[in-house]
Structure 1
Amino acid sequence: MAYLIRGNELELAVSVGTVLGESAAPATYYALELLARKCMMIPMCFPSVGYRNLAADLLLMTPDNELHLVKLCAFYPGCIEEINDLHKKCKLPPVEECMQLAEMAHADGNVFETIKYYLLSKEPEKALPIGIDFVKEYISISNWTLDTIYPVLDLLSYIRTEKLVLHTCTEARNELLILCGYIGALLAIRRQYQSIVPALYEYTCS
């Protein structure tokens, strides 16, 4: 299954894992997540209901799937009605309610929940300054850890593209790219993907 996943034979990996059952469950769930992400990264097809629903169905087959479903809904580039339909399928609150939940989380000082619900609202760009300021403030402390920074940047990266390219988001977009390049390089070092580290640092510096 590892060879199938590395070879991008994800459909076959899921099929084999389903036959093998519980012993192959972790690899099967990972293949399902990758397959759902593959559906999300087809720019011409993802807005179609078929690819959207397929990605959601695949993620619903995995345990502890809420965060993956949040990323799917945050990334989906549809109208409000379509997004709310996807939210319902993924058992998430409607867009209007997400704005209220974001404001409540912000008032409570819960940064991650604030970002999550803003990304699911009709104004996802509001998540950018909150998340970026949190990361910049945190890395100014000498004993900061990658495990605290990475989840926030990972979630922010699923903001819808049409919102990220707005001229009002230019500064925030550039800062997000810089921080993702830097943290991505540190993550690559941890995971022993040394070959891509120089390219990531060069990208970050430029």
Structure 2
Amino acid sequence: MKDNNWGLFKVEPQETGKPSKKPFCITDKTVKGVKDAFTHSLDEALAALTDGFELGYIPREGSQYVGIDMDNALFDDVELPWADELLGDSSCPYAATSSGLGLRVLMPRGEGDTELGGAGERNDVGFFATDSRGFTVPRALFADIQNGELVRDTALRDRVIARRGIANEKPHNHEDFLAKWDGHWFPHLNDQKACVEDMLSYSYH
């Protein structure tokens, strides 16, 4: 299967201490959007990988792989209880991200992934299965990828989706907006609520 969804992230230090990671086009050596930069094979991306860069992947529809992100899952290189429980007895290879605090899982794409994937993260987890977001791939996973040892675990995906909850859910109409306001927003904003409700009523009726 031809999988031209690989590329590189250029890693640059920032004053905050957390480095920025920008999609980098291998062919013309410039920073670009992830959709334009990540169009290479794994071999091409690995051949261009040098210090100051990280391997990246974008899980376009029909891509070979999808990704799971677990932030704040490690402390002193030990998995925190919530992360250990989430991983359970999964046989999926996983590795620490460059921050030393997160974990990354890369697995073969399966049925239903596109509908469940997205750029949103919540409760320290994300499931990436669309072209809305690219992600880094730790060096510790390189051998598993090259040797074809990545495995599918739909149960793990479902546990991640359950923990993420409604991260990608947005109000799509008047009724959804009211339900989300009443369930999540503050009562003292009722004047603003009335204004937005009027606008939505005008737009949807």
Q: TM-score, normalised by structure 2?
A: 0.27
Q: Answer 1 or 2: which has greater strand percent.
A: 2
Q: Which has the higher contact order (CA 8 A, sep 6+)?
A: 2
Q: Answer 1 or 2: which has greater helix percent.
A: 1
Q: TM-score, normalised by structure 1?
A: 0.27
